Amino acid sequence: MSRIGKQPITVPNGVKVDIKGTQIKVTGPKGNLEREIRPEIALAQADGLIRVTAKDNSQRSRAFTGLTRTLVNNMIIGVVQGFEKKLVIEGVGYRAELKGKAISLNVGYSNPVDFPLPQGVAAVVDKTNITLQSIDKEILGLTAAKIRAIRKPEPYKGKGIRYEGEYIARKAGKSASKK
């Protein structure tokens, strides 16, 4: 079993966890999340702790214990604190604005690109900064990746949409490589 999978998950006060077979439901102050877990994995709840174990001792089952533990832990963190992802838009004239439940991006195309936000994801837009918030880490990451894919950062001038803190390896242009 993985080192992460062996660690118990602490359930904070105010969070209710319902485990029914392979279905888990976590309810907290920010909302509730549901997930179907793999049938090879067993969850046991006692004394404010959740333990993840493999039902059999196969390598495949043991491999899923760490993943399942992390997914359940992210559900608990999400309903208590929530998650946040920040995107930065770089480039002359590149900007974003919020229009209802969609983000309108002006990122160098002839027309603005409208990106509809999925259910459960909220956005705060400040011209060149986009802050996405959600209780579901998986949906948040997918949404941020789809927004970034609209105009990926390019290596010559660094224009495009990137994650905050992401390093873009810069390349020298044509004139610098001739010498």
Q: Which two tokens stand for residue 157?
A: 């001038």
Model confidence pLDDT, tens digit, residues 66-105: 999 999 999 999 999 999 999 999 999 999 999 999 999 9
Residue 15 has pLDDT above 80, yes or no: yes
For residue 162, how far is the Cα from the chain centroid? 15
pTM flag (> 0.85): yes
Report pLDDT digits (tens) over 121-174.
Answer: 999 999 899 999 999 999 999 999 999 999 999 999 989 999 999 999 999 888
Instruction: Tabulate helix, strand, coil % of the chain (nearest 5).
Output: 25, 40, 35
Judged against a pLDDT cut of 90, whether residue 179 lies above it is answered with: no
Domains of the chain: 3-80 (3.90.930.12), 83-163 (3.90.930.12)
pLDDT of 113 over the 80 cut:
yes
Which residue, chain included where needed, has tokens 């160098």?
A: 108
Q: Are 155 and 111 in contact (CB under 8 A)?
A: no
Helix (H, G, I), strand (E, B) or coil at 139: helix
- For residue 102, give the H/E element and its range: strand 102-106
Q: Note the helical H segments in the chain.
A: 3-6, 59-80, 137-150, 174-178
Q: Answer for the pair 137, 124: CB distance below 8 angstroms, yes or no.
A: no
